[in-house]
Amino acid sequence: MRMLINSPQTVVADALRGLAAAHPDLDVDPQARVVVRKGAREGGRVGLVSGGGSGHEPLHAGFVGPGMLSAACPGEVFTSPVPDQVVRAAKAVDSGRGVLFIVKNYTGDVLNFDMAAELAEEDGIRVERVLVDDDVAVTDSLYTAGRRGTGATLFVEKIAGAAAEEGAPLDQVAAVARQVNAASRSFGVALSACTTPAKGSPTFDLPDGELELGIGIHGEPGRERRPMMSAREIAEFAVGAVLDDLAGVGPADGPVLALVNGMGATPLLELYGFHAEVARVLADRGVPVVRTLVGNYVTSLDMAGCSVTLCRADEELLRLWDAPVQTPALRWGR
């Protein structure tokens, strides 16, 4: 095993200590496993809390800051945060206007965030929950009942965060988050398996010369395995799957936000080349792209591969997307 770590047992705490040292504008508690925006209660804003297993960085702690999340709760690698973490985060960010939990659709996350919501409400905190389930590859998996939550989490956190920053009430922030999720679809492809620090070896077997179409962000299987394909062929398959599922959402020629996301080990040289093919397919289909992100945003440790996420964006969603944001991993307009 070749990893830049001290030990598998301390990898998450060590990463949080490093996050704290690199970003003093965040309040980071490596022991309690909570990352909070400084001044989170100021201004009477709705609080936004998200979280999930570590190993998907910069999701979620990298998206804490003005214009996005108020707090994030990192669990152990590929393991949901526990309810106590989430409640602690909710208390740290509640200004009296309520807290929105943004939850990816994985069984552990759903159960623990639901339990945390009940505990927070017992303490007098009003909580709304939004479930992200954008992955079109499979309906059910080893980790979910229903679709998995993947790249659209970034769109939901950014756009809902902008609404909260503007002072929107809790029900409105939750409504726009649900709108973004409903208008978003994703599809992922793996060229190699990821390696967890605890296991020290690939989490699944992917023979040389093959790829997995529709992979999940924990290495869950997708639709099928095929011999290695070109970037052009992968883009046609992935974008086609996403657009087919988006067919009933808004006009077929409506504008989209596009995320070409690396899974952790794919260099930007390849990601930008792949994006060229994604842009070509969308142009051929008559779908205008109004904004694009290319890079590693929702990863799976050291997995090679990528995912494509598209969101049908009306003028209001685009306005909120363009609103200023300042986080470790996403920043513009400030």
Where in the sequence numbering do the catalytic residues fall?
Answer: 56, 218
Contacts of 251 (CB under 8 A, 6+ apart): none
Contacts of 247 (CB under 8 A, 6+ apart): none
The candidate with the shortest Cα–Cα distance to 325, out of 296, 285, 282, 293, is 293
